[in-house]
Amino acid sequence: ETGVTQTPRHLVMGMTNKKSLKCEQHLGHNAMYWYKQSAKKPLELMFVYNFKEQTENNSVPSRFSPECPNSSHLFLHLHTLQPEDSALYLCASSLQGSEQFFGPGTRLTVL
Amino acid sequence: GDSVTQMEGPVTLSEEAFLTINCTYTATGYPSLFWYVQYPGEGLQLLLKATKADDKGSNKGFEATYRKETTSFHLEKGSVQVSDSAVYFCALSDNDYKLSFGAGTTVTVRA
């Protein structure tokens, strides 16, 4: 049990659908992250939130829209995705300067 | 900027063999260093960490020593098991909210 949960674990969606990924942590951490992990590619940091404020957006396309309503919850809203967006989306949380704790990921398939 | 370079895989070993995965880093400050492991179908888990020079992190039979003079943090295990088959990531944190990850090394242990 890592303390970081993600739902759903698997998601299949069409290119015209709108869906959301959810991440939750109850570790008392102040920072939360979204990563994209594609086959045969390095782990890509997408967004960083620190005390609910977005501090990093690594040139992520606008079809990915993050939301952090509080320090324990993080969402990734998806709309009009492309097949190349199919990947494992990982959420993580941490305290500043400390190790990140990862959730199990959401396996996303875009048809 | 900060970066991590780890040996490319894949690495295939027999059970009870000795495993080494090389990792070197570039950082402007005095980073903390981490090894994460990702088992098939799961998110990343922290395997071990070291926060200052000459520290040795250890867990589950794995060890890594923070070598400032060679800017390295090589992962070793003396006798691997089939259950050690996974992807291993070296990472550093320069006391901010971000981790810099290596590309990952896939390890397969055969019975």
Interchain CB distance below 8 Å, B95 and A104? no
Asked whether the beta carbons of A2 and A99 are under 8 A apart, the reply is no
Interchain CB distance below 8 Å, B89 and A43? yes
Tens of pLDDT along A29-68?
Answer: 999 999 999 987 888 999 999 887 888 888 899 999 999 9
Interchain CB distance below 8 Å, B96 and A96? yes
Which residues of chain B approach chain A closer than 8 Å at the C-beta?
A: 32, 34, 36, 42-46, 49, 89, 93, 95-99, 101-104
Percent of chain B whose predicted confidence (pLDDT) is above 70: 98
pLDDT at A96: 73
Whole-number Å distance between alpha carbons of A8 and B15: 36
Neighbouring residues of A62: CB distance < 8 A, sequence distance ≥ 6: none
